[in-house]
Amino acid sequence: MITPVAGPGEVVIGVVVTVPQPHADVLAEARRESGDPEGHTLAPHVTLVGPVAVARADLGAVDEHLAHAVGRHAPFDVHLRGTGTFRPVSPVVFATVTRGIADCEQLERVIRSGPLHHRLRFPYHPHVTVAQGVGDEALDAAMQQLADFEAVFHVASIDRYELDDDGVWRPVRAFAIGG
């Protein structure tokens, strides 16, 4: 993940589906065990948009955009099952989204517009990262460790996170899906 640096008057944000407990603990522990340098800085999630730098003065417009975007979408279920990888293109192992893909894609498309419009480095692919930026051996171990992982959860809201000065991503606002 390439995280932009916030300029004067800016904040770096991300918009995600946060994975709930008890599934989050399993995924977070696997990420920390892999040695992923971001394993202690963010909660397990499916990224919808981010990370992106925005002007602090524009956060009200961003939040209004997010509320409007998710207000038109219905709540949905996500099913995570097993693992996948983006290798050799990118050193990432992830928990695979097997249900809820279309919902995530639709939300990503409508959210990544207006004040959050930006170009993607790679095509959008909903997933939950469990190891990134580590060696092949650690990626292989993470992939094997969660090969039988399975979780189903209901998504009734999305979260806007902000990257704090200490390098930790913190949720700052939730937006109810369907209003």
In this predicted structure, what is the pLDDT of residue 4?
Answer: 72
In this predicted structure, what is the pLDDT of residue 102?
Answer: 97
Q: Is the pLDDT of residue 50 over 90?
A: no
Mean pLDDT of 37-63: 94
Mean pLDDT of 53-58: 96
- Joined together, the tokens standing for residue 102 give 């279309």
In this predicted structure, what is the pLDDT of residue 1?
Answer: 58
**Is the Cβ–Cβ distance between 149 and 81 less than 8 Å?**
yes
Where in the chain are the domains?
A: 11-176
Q: What is the pLDDT of residues 117-127, one digit of tens each?
A: 888 888 899 99
In this predicted structure, what is the pLDDT of residue 2?
Answer: 72
At CA 111, angle to CA 110 and CA 115, rounded to 5? 115
**Topology of the domain comprising 11-176:** Cyclic Phosphodiesterase; Chain: A, (3.90.1140)
Give the pLDDT band (50/70/90) at residue 6: confident
In this predicted structure, what is the pLDDT of residue 179?
Answer: 62
H-assigned helices in the chain: 23-33, 59-71, 101-111, 136-145
**Is the Cβ–Cβ distance between 80 and 130 less than 8 Å?**
no
How many angstroms separate the CA atoms of 41 and 36, rounded? Answer: 10
Q: What percent of the chain lies above the pLDDT cut of 70? A: 99
Q: Is the pLDDT of residue 3 over 90?
A: no
Mean pLDDT over each residue of the chain, to the nearest integer: 94
Mean pLDDT of 62-73: 96
Q: What is the pLDDT of residues 128-161, one digit of tens each?
A: 999 999 999 999 999 999 999 999 999 999 999 9
